[in-house]
């Protein structure tokens, strides 16, 4: 009968809906690793070109103990996010920027890199294969982690004879345990993040383990993260271990120039552009640590972190506090960025890539 048919139809559409999402507590996502179903793998040997990659089931990978990445840290990583729009479509935010940054970093680390098209295609395939892990609209995003590693064996110090490009993904929401509450940052006096002529300006895996010591110490003291100063004079702001930093004073927004020791963040660049569109004056320049005591607002940017307000910075025992909340420049920039990233604000800049 017609009634039976209608009933069958609704059960069918219910099943489609049900399988649309993986079985996960979508309301309690943090930044922990939730393993998903597939990862993308593409290899490149001596001739320097990456061949056809493929999707494999997500899981452990096999590496020679003499792999360049394990012994000499020859590796880069990237981070980008996919969002689910209200209409169900999946979108990426500026994956071309990550692809280009990987190419730039690969040159610094003496590695071949996938082309921009290969990179974007791999990211799209990874999202498509794991689409049930992209959180519902408003509940977070699928964090995508492309890796480029020296996977071939090498004993003497030299570039690896083989490279692997791998993309995996995990659903995430807030990076910091503070959620969207303001961060409390500690200015690190003992350790440096990056040195002049080093690899601080590229997303080398070697930039991250050395910051753990100061990060854990700060967390033990109740801080969210650590702010580094330049290693030469210990005078100018550099970046936080997991994100870039901005300060606001009146209509002027400033951030350290992304030269050499500062990671050129995709969120950083996007916020600079959005702020200029909103008629703020934006300067990329050396920022003496003394300016922290005069700033109205401070905030951090990063793919994982998003745009995070900073409530306080502690420097040499002195705690400085900043304006936070809905009526801030930070909140205005954040809502514009998130609006574009989630498809709520029309993208007039070519930042959104449909999957
Ligand atoms: C990102 O924001 O994507 C990063 O790579 C930072 C990392 C420490 C999670």
CA 8 to ligand 1 centroid distance, Å: 46
Instruction: Give residues (CB < 6 A) around ligand 1.
Output: 79, 242, 302-305
CA 318 to ligand 1 centroid distance, Å: 28
What pLDDT digit, counting tens, does each position of 316-334 carry?
999 999 999 999 999 999 9
Q: Which helix (H) or strand (E) holds 91?
A: strand 90-93
Asked if residue 297 lies in contact with residue 185, where contact means CB atoms within 8 angstroms, the answer is no
Determine the 3-state secondary structure of 102 from DSSP: helix
Q: Catalytic annotation on 203?
A: yes
Provide the pLDDT for residue 209. Answer: 95
Provide the pLDDT for residue 336. Answer: 96
- For atom 8 of ligand 1, the residue with the nearest CA is 242
Residue 305 has pLDDT above 80, yes or no: yes
Please name which of 216, 271, 221, 274 lies closest in space to residue 243, comparing C-alpha atoms: 271
Determine the 3-state secondary structure of 347 from DSSP: coil
Beta bridge partners of 313: 185, 320
- For atom 9 of ligand 1, the residue with the nearest CA is 304
CB atoms within 10 A of CB 201: 19
Q: Which are the contacts of 66, defined by CB distance < 8 A and separation ≥ 6?
A: 153, 154, 155
CA 167 to ligand 1 centroid distance, Å: 15
Question: What are the backbone dihedrals phi and psi of residue 144, each rounded to the nearest 5 degrees, phi first?
Answer: -115, 130
Quote the CA–CA distance of 91 and 81 in Å, as a whole number.
Answer: 9
Q: Mean pLDDT across the stretch 156-164?
A: 96
What pLDDT digit, counting tens, does each position of 83-126 carry?
999 999 999 999 999 999 999 999 999 999 999 999 999 999 99
Provide the pLDDT for residue 12. Answer: 46
Determine the 3-state secondary structure of 329 from DSSP: helix
Q: Mean pLDDT across the stretch 67-96?
A: 97
What pLDDT digit, counting tens, does each position of 185-205 carry?
999 989 999 999 999 999 999
- pTM confidence score: 0.93
What pLDDT digit, counting tens, does each position of 228-247 carry?
999 999 999 999 999 999 99
- For atom 3 of ligand 1, the residue with the nearest CA is 79
Provide the pLDDT for residue 180. Answer: 83
Quote the CA–CA distance of 259 and 262 in Å, as a whole number.
Answer: 6
Could you identify the atom of ligand 1 that is nearest to the CA of residue 143?
Answer: 3
Beta bridge partners of 80: 144
Q: Which of 202, 302, 337 is the pocket-test mutation for ligand 1 (most atoms within 8 Å of CB)?
A: 302
Q: Which helix (H) or strand (E) holds 2?
A: helix 2-20
Going by pLDDT thresholds of 50, 70 and 90, the confidence category of residue 9 is: very low
CA 225 to ligand 1 centroid distance, Å: 13
ipTM of the shown complex: 0.98
Asked if residue 83 lies in contact with residue 141, where contact means CB atoms within 8 angstroms, the answer is yes
Which residue in the list 81, 124, 131, 203 is annotated as catalytic? 203
């Amino acid at each position: 009968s017609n009634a039976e048919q209608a009933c069958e139809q609704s059960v069918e559409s219910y099943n489609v809906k049900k399988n649309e999402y993986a079985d996960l507590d979508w309301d309690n996502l943090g930044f922990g690793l939730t393993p998903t179903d597939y990862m993308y793998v593409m290899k490149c040997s001596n001739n320097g070109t990456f061949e056809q990659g493929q999707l494999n089931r997500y899981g452990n990978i096999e590496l020679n103990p003499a792999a360049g990445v394990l012994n000499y840290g020859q590796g880069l990583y990237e981070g980008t996010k996919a969002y689910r729009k209200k209409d169900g479509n999946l979108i990426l935010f500026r994956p071309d920027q990550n692809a280009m940054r990987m190419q730039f970093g690969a040159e610094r680390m003496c590695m071949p890199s996938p082309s921009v098209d290969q990179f974007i295609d791999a990211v799209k395939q990874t999202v498509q294969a794991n689409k049930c892990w992209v959180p519902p609209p408003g509940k977070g995003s699928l964090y995508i982690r492309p890796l480029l590693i020296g996977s071939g064996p090498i004993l003497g110090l030299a570039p690896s004879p083989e490279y692997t490009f791998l993309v995996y993904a995990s659903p995430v929401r807030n990076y910091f345990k503070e959620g969207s509450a303001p961060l409390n940052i500690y200015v690190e006096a003992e350790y440096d993040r990056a040195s002049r002529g080093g690899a601080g300006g590229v997303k080398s895996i070697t930039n991250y383990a050395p910051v753990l010591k100061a990060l854990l110490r700060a967390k033990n003291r109740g801080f969210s993260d650590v702010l580094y100063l330049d290693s030469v004079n210990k005078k100018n702001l550099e970046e936080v271990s997991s994100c870039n930093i901005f300060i606001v004073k009146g209509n002027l927004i400033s951030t350290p120039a992304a030269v050499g020791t500062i990671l050129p963040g995709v969120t950083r660049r996007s916020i600079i552009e959005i702020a200029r569109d909103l008629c703020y004056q934006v300067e990329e320049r050396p920022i003496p640590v003394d300016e922290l005591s005069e700033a109205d607002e401070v905030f951090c940017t990063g793919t994982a972190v998003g745009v995070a307000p900073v409530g306080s910075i502690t420097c040499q025992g002195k705690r400085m506090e900043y304006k936070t909340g809905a009526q801030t420049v930070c909140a205005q920039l954040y809502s514009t960025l998130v609006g574009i990233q989630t498809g709520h604000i029309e993208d007039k800049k070519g930042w959104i890539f449909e999957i």
